[in-house]
Amino acid sequence: MTTRPLIVALDFPSSHEIKPFLEQFEGESLFVKVGMELFYKEGFHAISYLKKNGHKIFLDLKLHDIPNTVKSAMRNLASLDVDIVNVHAAGGKQMMVAALEGLDQGTIAGKKRPKCIAVTQLTSTSEQMLKSELLIDQPLDTVVRHYAKLASDSGLDGVVCSTWEVEQILAACGSGFLTVTPGIRMLNDNKDDQVRVATPEEARKRGSWGIVVGRPITKALNPLEAYHIVCEQWEGK
């Protein structure tokens, strides 16, 4: 697996937009993130197109269901030979263990099992929402740390979290636990709907394993140039 990947979020509605976007990166093997929007429209075709073109894939479908259903779904996703998949830690330990079993069963002989990471709390969830809607009285950072530990105890490879949570998650789960951080912006970038943003440099310094970058690259006037600028700061060149 790539060390410390820069993952480009392909938040496009269909393959029509993906092809011209990726053509600008001719010759570069990217690590891309495919989310629900694209996968629910294009499904396995989008994945095989990306793989054929040499890109690594984080398939961000955030599974959350009863253990048996998640296990069967993961068995199918593993057969796509993607690099990372994910679940909601809120599904509990039994569900996360089942996810890993499904992945082990579905992994093609001779291939590596996809890494499985957990969403702790969505970045759209505020502490106020935790209390009033989910009836969780603990502070948000305590909840995030607890869910990360639950994922680690279930055998998962890591979590999706904000840059600002990385240090406490690594302290709780060990330095080998993977932290994948979205909400990345260069200093002068528009924050869009992200709240707790960080620069690629900050993410590197705080120990993020990988960063997910969408609009700062996909909406840039020159996506290839934007990608290289983020890359340089992420790699500390």
Please tell me which residue in 51, 56, 62, 237 is annotated as part of the active site.
62
Element (H, E) at 158: strand 158-160
In the complex, the smallest distance separating the C-beta of residue 25 from ligand C5P, rounded to whole angstroms, is 17
Residue 108 as a binder of ligand C5P (CB under 6 A): the answer is no
Asked if 122 is part of the footprint of ligand C5P (rule: CB under 6 A), the reply reads: yes
Long-range contacts of 105-108 (CB under 8 A, 24+ apart): 105/71, 105/75, 105/78, 106/74, 106/75, 106/76, 106/77, 106/78, 106/79, 107/78, 107/79, 108/78, 108/79, 108/81
* Tokens encoding 130: 């935790």
Centre a 10 Å sphere on the Cβ of residue 215 and count the other Cβ atoms it contains: 18
Nearer to ligand C5P, 39 or 49 (CB): 39
Q: With respect to ligand C5P, which residue has the nearer C-beta, 98 or 197?
A: 197
Instruction: State how far the alpha carbon of 163 is from the alpha carbons of 36, 122, 170, 208, in Å.
Output: 23, 13, 11, 7
* Token reading at 23: 């053509």
Interactions with ligand C5P, residue window 81-100 (CB under 6 A): none
Please name which of 35, 91, 181, 55 lies closest in space to residue 102, comparing C-alpha atoms.
91
Choose, by CB under 6 A, the member of 91, 102, 106, 214 that binds ligand C5P. 214
213 makes contact with ligand C5P (CB under 6 A): yes
Residue count (the chain):
237
Verify whether residue 41 is a known catalytic residue.
Answer: no
Torsion over CA of 189, 193, 197 and 203, rounded to 10 degrees? -90
Choice from 47, 118, 159, 160 touching ligand C5P (CB under 6 A): 160
Q: Under the criterion CB under 6 A, does residue 5 sit at the interface with ligand C5P?
A: no
- The distance of closest approach from Cβ of residue 103 to ligand C5P in the complex, given in angstroms and rounded to an integer, is 20
Hey, which residues between 166 and 195 contact ligand C5P (CB under 6 A)?
A: 182-183, 192, 194
Residues 6, 8, 9, 150: which binds ligand C5P (CB under 6 A)?
9
Q: Using CB under 6 A, which residues numbered 128 to 147 contact ligand C5P?
A: none
Residue 136: CB minimum distance to ligand C5P, A: 17
* Nearest Cα residue to 106 out of 69, 72, 151, 62: 72
Binding segment for ligand C5P (CB under 6 A), chosen from 144-152, 165-173, 199-207, 213-221, is 213-221
- Tell me whether strands 84-88 and 56-63 are parallel, antiparallel or unpaired: parallel
Contacts to ligand C5P by CB under 6 A: 9, 11, 35, 122-123, 160, 182-183, 192, 194, 212-216
Which residues have a catalytic role annotated? Answer: 62
